[in-house]
Structure 1
Amino acid sequence: MLLAGAVCLSCLLIHSPGWAQAGSEREPVRYVGGVSIDPVPHDGRLRPPVGVANYQTFRANRTHPDRAEGFGWTYNHAPMLVYWNDTFYQEYLSNPVDEHIAPGHTLIVASRDGRDWSKPAVVFPAYEPPKGVAVPKGYHGYMMHQRMGFFVAPDGRLLALAFYGHAEDPFGPGGIGRVVREIYKDGTFGPIYFIRYASHGKWNEKNTSYPFYTRSSDAGFVAACEAFLSNRLMMLQCRDEDPGPKDFYPVKGDVEALSYYHRKDGKVVALWKWAMCALSADEGLTFSKPVKASTFTTDGAKAWGQKTQDGRYAIVYVPTTHSEHRYPLAMVTGDDGIIFDDLLVVHGEVPPRRFFGRWKDYGPQYVRGIEEGNGVPPDGAMWITYSVNKEDMWVSRIPVPVRYRVEGPVEDDFNRMETGGHIPGWNIYSPKWAPVRIVEYPSAHEKSLELRDEDPYDYAKAVRVFQEGVRAEISATVLARQADKGLLDIEALDRFGHRPVRLRFDSDGQIKAFVRGAWTNLQIYKPETWHKVDIAVNASPDGYFSVMIDGRNVLDRALLAEAVLSVERLSFRTGPYRDWPTRETDNEAKHPPLEGADDPAPVIVYNVRDVRAAAAT
């Protein structure tokens, strides 16, 4: 019994607006790491998960459409991903120049291994209305907009889905309906049907261009469509375009772009843009009131959550509220789907935006992964997809379990690795025109890591994480196929991405080091010649580094380019370090296409082998 005037502490805690128990309806998820990004560098000064590979799946090209998707459209965004029939499929939507400006269509690319991707194929073409049906007043043509793209039915069929609406506002009254077609095992597509008409209009078979799915003579296809319509969690992703009649969806409020996963206790965690989240204990029949996860700093660039194949959990998102500058793409991990830690950078590169377009924000964004039930890649890794600059499509392969430290010496023998396969322990950034691969060079019995680059506005990059230490001994054998163009930067980095040691195979045939604010010649190099480079680093407060090339001492105890307390990464990059765009770059400032962006640059190639790194604290 409480005395008069006494206070019930537990009651205060329960009802206090500042209190929430992690994992409860008031705080479904919580980030406890305390690390946040530095907003200046593109990688946020975050550590990467060891072994992440970024692969570009599609590179836009306006003047040479045959080198892209055949149309030359340069607004490309909102990708989705599925793994089915031993194949990755990526769906994305596209407009000629601007977001939400007609016309629009949806395309699909496919890959057996996640590295090499097919030329895009149109899965849902630009909408053509039936004769006599006009664009309603206040709209300006037709576009596509969808928050989900694939569904693997209980019988194993794969459905592709998308949504047709009116430009510039396809939501609510502007919607027409959701369409569906089957993807067959040979990669071809079945007929297009409407699977659901927008509920805020009078759309039906008579005034739309495709029949309703129940018209199909394929009973299995009809059953697959009905399985999708009865899947509450899958359908909840469709709420954004068409909120449905009153009480059709169990979630109320201003939330967008659902991602969901099941916790170990069976509850569903729902994540939306702007760090909104909620819980469901009945498979999506009802949800708690959406609340903002106060420990997650993010914007409208979407978030993705999932259970990984090692039984842990990951959330991938853009940890900034600068909505026009959406970088870096980062992740946190946890054991129970409630508490998350270790903010790490998954994609920290922001190349120049080659083509202006309305609302084309900078950076990697709109991340999606493989939804529960939509396939499990056999390599055990976590796969995600996203657009960069709303222009090009990418995927990332994240090895599981996720780790950011390496213990013990690194001794990489590329002969033991699969030609053209994944590169264990290496973080690679591999654009279509600047791939990073294991190749049989100089022979099938002497493989090497190859960085090839013919992209005029991007580069190839490969990074090896090694054991962090104040002192480090690093070596690699490097060959340049040319000595009169291009460059290869070789750098030692600390945990924050600072670059205390900088070497360069430069376009004038010189190997150089960055010393006291300037590039200093060390020795000449010749094409098709292997050079063994040894670097000794002392990262103490008055740190220095020394360099040997081919066994000859060419630089002794030079001051570090910037002070650090340790080193832990070795980086190879076929272009200079970049820090543009910045957070001040106006994403709506019109500019012409970057000169020569659609034509390959003269190719440059570098090969690396015999990488060694050992650190001592």
Structure 2
Amino acid sequence: MPLSARFGLVLASLVCTAVAPAASPEISYTGNDTVSSRADGGLPPVVGVQNIQVYRANRTHSEHAERLPDTYAHAPMLAWWHGRFYLDFLTAPVNEHDAPTATSYTTSEDGVHWAPARILFPAMPIPGGGLSVMHQRMSFYVSPDDRLLATGFHGKTPSPNDGSGFGRVVREIRRDGTLGPIYFLRFNRNSRFTETSAPYPFYTTSPDPGLVKACEALLANKLVTAQWWEEDRAEDGFYRLQGKAISIFHRADGKAVGVAKDAQHSVSGDEGQSWTRLGFMENIPVNSSKYWGQRTSDGRFVLVYNPTNRLRHPLALITGDDGKRFDRLLTVHAELPVQRFPGKFKNLGPQYVRGISEGNGTPPDGALWLTYSVNKEDIWVSRVPVPIVGAVGDSVNTDFSTTPLGAMPTGWNVYRPLWAPVQVVEAGDGHGHALELRDEDPYDYAQASRVFPSTLDGVIRFAVLPRQESGRLEIDLASARGERPVQIALTESGLVEARHEGIWMPAGSYRTGQWLAFEIELRHPDRFVLRIDGKEALARTAYFTDLVPSIDRLVFRTGAYRERGDGGHELSGADVRTPACAFLIDDVSITSKP
């Protein structure tokens, strides 16, 4: 049965002009994973992925350079140019498609520490009064002569991307960080918006011939401008492909593949001059969130998306060798914090993913860099190590001594909100380096986890130093799919507890500034012994809380476990940091029992 019949949908996400007749799908997923409604989907993670919050919406204590109080943030785009990441995104006062909606941007040298966001494209006055709604399906473009252009589209409420908007603007971002003037790049003739109506001049009037040349190179690139159709919808022959939120990459055979919303795809053998429509991708959910396809630095291919038909969590990926057949569904972003600010059309979850488009730079670390919004109010990036794997074969033995101060350790999965950083620090008292989880976020937490070879007979050792007796650190041993058979907590009242068959049991106490040495001995098939500072901490051997076929992850988290966050209510105190709590982790070793 075709997917269109299976889901009872008649979709128009991708229509082609100058095309051959529809052909069979050329992208398929060969796996048969079941995805749950948990934040992680019940899926294993990519090993070593780092989730990094870039921008946190804040109504009353804004950290935006222009102090924007907007609580809607969405649709980020990413580029790498001359040793720096460039990221832009939309912001609106409360709701999606509110007027005014502006485009902001930020930059970073390392992808972890980002400059305060600034306005890139403000909303403009529109005919009849009011202000525009910025919208973007594509933004950055590096020209053949190495100029970085940013673009955006001025639409209007309630639908800035339905063809009734005003036109696309462009400005140059210079290497010294300054911005060039704003010009119109293409007017939307459907709405009869012309030069006489525009608050900005047309690009051809620029006194800089190099800028004009760069704009004309962009306009001539049918692969890049294919992403504009949804907002423009002109019938003047400019567009060869019609689709929503198209992601374009080249396969190993040299053909360009366009992947659009609702799992639609097309292929071009002449750099976008003509296309063959391929319909739905096979065995891939039909979701109105975005899809992202890319060739990775190891020559393989990745497709990133939300792996259900409706929910926008988790963010996951599949990989393949030829850009056609993909397998191994793994999570990239498996957390779903509570939504702090309600708003119209503010879906929950990590969504609207974009990577770095071909031609827009290649970070030197060889990783796959992605950007997306979470709950349509915060902007994140993820660094995905390449090669992309979901399991490891070596035992773990690390003391963080070789990890630079301020960095995140290689091979660890990290969830790093702005107000809950994870990084290696100097522990003090001659101890050396340790991994710090610090938390000042009233509604989120810091998390670090380490994937290790599957076992039910292993021994896990680590040391913990609490910086206070009022915070909470939870420690889990988890399965590949997220069940938590072993659960330990350093509680807010200075106690250590562990769960036996779901029941919290006392396991001692802790003090500020004193290291505790933990040892967890797993006993096949469903028991464990907990030792602290060499002594058994529980009155009895404990049984697993969740029954699992294997244990694959060690997890540290500065807060209570959440299956998934919710939304729809304004949360008090969301704009103000809480008193800091911090925990140091060191001397982690994980081995299978001989």
Q: What's the TM-score once normalised by structure 2's chain length?
A: 0.94
Residues 78-106 of structure 1: per-residue CA shift (max 9 Å, x gap): 00000011000111011100011201100
- Within 1, Cα distance between the matches of 2:205 and 2:246? 30
Residue equivalent to 1:595 = 572
Residue equivalent to 2:128 = 134
Offset of residue 562 of structure 1: 1.4
- Within 1, Cα distance between the matches of 2:197 and 2:82? 36
2:243 equivalent to 1:259: no
Deviating above 3 A after TM superposition, structure 1's stretches of 4 or more consecutive aligned residues are 66-69
Residue equivalent to 1:488 = 473
Q: Quick one: which of 45, 53, 61 aligns to 2:58?
A: 61
* SS of structure 1 residue aligned to 2:541: strand
Q: Quick one: which of 519, 530, 541 aligns to 1:547?
A: 530
Offset of residue 539 of structure 1: 4.5
Whether the aligned pair in 2 keeps the contact of 1:58 and 1:432 (CA below 8 Å) is yes
* SS of structure 2 residue aligned to 1:416: coil
Q: Quick one: which of 334, 338, 347 aligns to 1:352?
A: 338
Any residues of structure 2 matched to 1:9-24 within 5 Å, and which?
A: none
Residues 541-597 of structure 1: per-residue CA shift (max 9 Å, x gap): xx101111111111342111111111010000001011244xxx6x6x5x3x20100
2:486 partner letter = V
- Within 2, Cα distance between the matches of 1:290 and 1:337? 14
Offset of residue 431 of structure 1: 0.2
Aligned pair in 2 of structure 1 residues 67, 218: CA closer, same or farther (>3 Å)?
closer
2:572 partner letter = E
2:559 equivalent to 1:575: yes
* SS of structure 1 residue aligned to 2:223: helix
Whether the aligned pair in 2 keeps the contact of 1:61 and 1:68 (CA below 8 Å) is no
Residue equivalent to 2:93 = 96
Aligned pair in 2 of structure 1 residues 444, 279: CA closer, same or farther (>3 Å)?
farther
- Within 1, Cα distance between the matches of 2:166 and 2:332? 37
2:543 partner letter = L
Q: What's the TM-score once normalised by structure 1's chain length?
A: 0.91
- Within 2, Cα distance between the matches of 1:217 and 1:500? 67
- Within 2, Cα distance between the matches of 1:571 and 1:333? 25
2:308 equivalent to 1:320: yes
Residues 104-131 of structure 1: per-residue CA shift (max 9 Å, x gap): 10000111000001100100012124xx
Residue equivalent to 2:81 = 84
Residue equivalent to 1:215 = 205
Residue equivalent to 1:271 = 259
Between 1:64-73 and 1:188-197, the stretch displaced more is: 64-73
Q: Quick one: which of 330, 335, 356 aligns to 2:321?
A: 335
* SS of structure 2 residue aligned to 1:240: helix
Residues 465-513 of structure 1: per-residue CA shift (max 9 Å, x gap): 0111121110111000001x22000110011110000001111111110
Aligned pair in 2 of structure 1 residues 173, 329: CA closer, same or farther (>3 Å)?
closer
Aligned pair in 2 of structure 1 residues 404, 460: CA closer, same or farther (>3 Å)?
same
Any residues of structure 2 matched to 1:401-416 within 5 Å, and which?
A: 401-416=387-402
1:222 partner letter = V
Any residues of structure 2 matched to 1:40-439 within 5 Å, and which?
A: 41-66=38-63, 70-129=67-126, 133-135=127-129, 141-252=131-242, 255-322=243-310, 325-439=311-425
Whether the aligned pair in 2 keeps the contact of 1:36 and 1:343 (CA below 8 Å) is no
Whether the aligned pair in 1 keeps the contact of 2:501 and 2:546 (CA below 8 Å) is no
Whether the aligned pair in 2 keeps the contact of 1:539 and 1:565 (CA below 8 Å) is no
Residue equivalent to 2:18 = none
Offset of residue 369 of structure 1: 0.2
- Structure 1 spans left out of the alignment, 5+ residues: 1-16, 19-23
1:74 partner letter = T
Aligned pair in 2 of structure 1 residues 302, 146: CA closer, same or farther (>3 Å)?
same
Offset of residue 290 of structure 1: 4.2
Q: Quick one: which of 500, 506, 511 aligns to 1:521?
A: 506
Any residues of structure 2 matched to 1:447-466 within 5 Å, and which?
A: 447-466=433-452
- Within 2, Cα distance between the matches of 1:443 and 1:312? 46
Q: Identity over aligned residues, as a percent?
A: 44
Aligned pair in 2 of structure 1 residues 68, 225: CA closer, same or farther (>3 Å)?
closer
Aligned pair in 2 of structure 1 residues 247, 26: CA closer, same or farther (>3 Å)?
farther
Whether the aligned pair in 2 keeps the contact of 1:199 and 1:245 (CA below 8 Å) is no
2:186 partner letter = R
- Within 2, Cα distance between the matches of 1:47 and 1:154? 41
* SS of structure 2 residue aligned to 1:405: coil
Residues 112-161 of structure 1: per-residue CA shift (max 9 Å, x gap): 000001100100012124xxx424xxxx6420111011000111110011
Residues 292-342 of structure 1: per-residue CA shift (max 9 Å, x gap): 1131014111000000000000000001112xx310000000011111000
Offset of residue 445 of structure 1: 6.8
Whether the aligned pair in 1 keeps the contact of 2:24 and 2:279 (CA below 8 Å) is yes
- Within 1, Cα distance between the matches of 2:141 and 2:529? 56
Whether the aligned pair in 1 keeps the contact of 2:65 and 2:118 (CA below 8 Å) is no
- Within 1, Cα distance between the matches of 2:557 and 2:408? 18
Offset of residue 404 of structure 1: 1.1
Offset of residue 408 of structure 1: 2.2
Residue equivalent to 2:581 = 604
Whether the aligned pair in 2 keeps the contact of 1:442 and 1:448 (CA below 8 Å) is no
Residue equivalent to 1:512 = 497
- Structure 2 spans left out of the alignment, 5+ residues: 7-21
Offset of residue 27 of structure 1: 0.9
- Within 1, Cα distance between the matches of 2:429 and 2:245? 49
TM-align CA RMSD = 1.7
Whether the aligned pair in 2 keeps the contact of 1:25 and 1:279 (CA below 8 Å) is no
Whether the aligned pair in 2 keeps the contact of 1:539 and 1:564 (CA below 8 Å) is no
Residue equivalent to 2:19 = none
* SS of structure 1 residue aligned to 2:217: helix
Aligned pair in 2 of structure 1 residues 243, 526: CA closer, same or farther (>3 Å)?
same
* SS of structure 2 residue aligned to 1:179: strand
Residues 401-447 of structure 1: per-residue CA shift (max 9 Å, x gap): 00111112100120111222242110000000001111122268710
Residue equivalent to 1:8 = none
* SS of structure 2 residue aligned to 1:241: helix
Aligned pair in 2 of structure 1 residues 298, 427: CA closer, same or farther (>3 Å)?
farther
1:260 partner letter = I
Q: Quick one: which of 483, 504, 522 aligns to 1:537?
A: 522
Aligned pair in 2 of structure 1 residues 531, 109: CA closer, same or farther (>3 Å)?
same
- Within 2, Cα distance between the matches of 1:296 and 1:428? 27
Whether the aligned pair in 1 keeps the contact of 2:61 and 2:575 (CA below 8 Å) is yes
Whether the aligned pair in 2 keeps the contact of 1:313 and 1:336 (CA below 8 Å) is yes
Whether the aligned pair in 1 keeps the contact of 2:292 and 2:353 (CA below 8 Å) is yes
- Within 1, Cα distance between the matches of 2:140 and 2:96? 22
1:159 partner letter = L
Whether the aligned pair in 1 keeps the contact of 2:46 and 2:388 (CA below 8 Å) is yes
- Within 2, Cα distance between the matches of 1:609 and 1:526? 17
Whether the aligned pair in 1 keeps the contact of 2:163 and 2:234 (CA below 8 Å) is no
* SS of structure 2 residue aligned to 1:534: strand
Aligned pair in 2 of structure 1 residues 182, 445: CA closer, same or farther (>3 Å)?
farther
* SS of structure 2 residue aligned to 1:239: helix
